[in-house]
Structure 1
Amino acid sequence: MDATFRPRRSVLYMPSSNDRALEKARSIPCDGLILDLEDAVAPDAKPEAREKACAAVRSGEYGARELTIRINGADTEWHADDLAAACAAGPDAIVVPKVNSADAVLQLVEAMAGHGAPEHTKLWAMVETPYAMLHAEEIAGASERLTVLVMGTNDLVKELYAEHVPGRQPVLAGLGLALLAARATGKVILDGVYNDVKNSDGFLAECRQGREMGFDGKTLIHPGQVDGANEAFAPGEQAVEDARGILQAWEDRSSGVVTYNGRMIENLHVESAQRTLTIHEAIRALAG
């Protein structure tokens, strides 16, 4: 993990058609924002929402938050105009729903280049169908411009004819395949949303599950979910202390077996400790 690491513990969807939401987003302590032109925007409001999202990106009023725009899918009448406008605005990334193949990634990357998208504008691919789960490695590895996979768990549940249940058993196989693809190709992966904004216990449990599985962070649908995600996907105080202890023990080694708190330390533990501290320092820097 290099020095350019960005925390993505909490990435919040905000409807771009809502002026109040866009204004409020400037002060929400999330790591990233997805200015949404898709599900959260009614068809007749989409052109105006597009203009507002692009204006927000250009405004420079969102601080250190990673700022992205979710455009409408390639099978919609709004896709081409959304993509052209987003490329011109130059957000940190363009989020595209229902990316199902490596060819789709390559077409998007070619279109972004054709529209003159600045180099810093990356592609985030939403994977949300059984087909995408089964081809996740091909999707993730198709282009260096694609940097993040975003789980679309609501659509995945629908496509599977499954149900939303605590523990998410119906979608665990798909989540696992997407995680494997992200790690195999060196990409970031964000967990899907939790729908019941009033059920804080359920939300926190799903955050813990996502963190334990290996997700880098979680996509959110309500500002009230930000603090819980930020805490769940950040290293705890004990983890940071242990990471420092492991690295110190490794640095002080002379020969033979290296131990920390009675546990044998190997290269893999050192790499994990370095990752923990990189995340910790990046979060501290983001907080200012």
Structure 2
Amino acid sequence: MGEKFSGAGRFEAERGRLHAVAYRMLGSHAEAEDAVQEAWLRLERAGGDGIDNPAGWLTTVVGRICLDMLRARLRRREDPIDGEAGEVQHADPAAGADEQAALADSVGLALLVVLERLTPAERLAFVLHDMFGVPFEEIGRIVERSPVAARQLASRARRRVQGLPDAPSADYERRKGVVAAFLAASREGDFAGLLAVLDPDVVFHADADAARLASLADLRGAAAVATFFDGKATAARLALVDGDLGLAVVLGGALRVVVRVTVEDERIVAIESIADPARLAAFEVEYL
């Protein structure tokens, strides 16, 4: 596989650490091994010559695989936690692969039970950042959020793991106010109100299903986005989507569209509309 990734030998050197990551994500040694094996298959398909950071690349791939498995589990409502209760420990991100793999075996059942209460995105952010030192920029790419949103996911997860009340932060309240103002302006047909909360370079993207509903896929700029949403959000509700602020459209008692809203510096910088049934089924939605 070239100089940057020396084939199966290098993968085997990373296997223990990857299993540790997957076990904390999934709570099951069997599923963790499945995730690691799938990462190997993806590596073989991708080839390794262009991979500058093999350890980081593999961690990202395992994270994505585990996130998909957690979301699928939500649909099945399974509880695959195995092992016996033990002392709750955290991995040292600088520890060797064998050491981290051994520590994965000693992760207390109590911690695994707490992790099961997190949303898939929260669990990924907490495990990858707090336990394995993965930067929020990379976590954001895995969960398709901004680094700021990824940091918020980890913060909420951390509070839950520590048993602290999930008290909203000042930043959360500010972002909630921006999203609520956007929703109100859209409902009321308040074009000026929409412009007031949209960043001049705001980007709107719709997945294939949402694009068919809206008859468009992408927009850029505050004026274009405000024109599209002017008077539109009559059926939308403010919601937490996988623990992050957004909107949800419910028609006939069924979730039809999820709108992810990214807020930075009290302006909306990105909006994503999602109507793919498979993706909708994977979201955990809490109406506010």
TM over 0.5: no
Structure ranking higher on relative contact order (CA contacts 8 Å, 6+ apart): 1
- Give me the TM-score of the superposition, normalised by structure 2: 0.30
- Give me the TM-score of the superposition, normalised by structure 1: 0.30
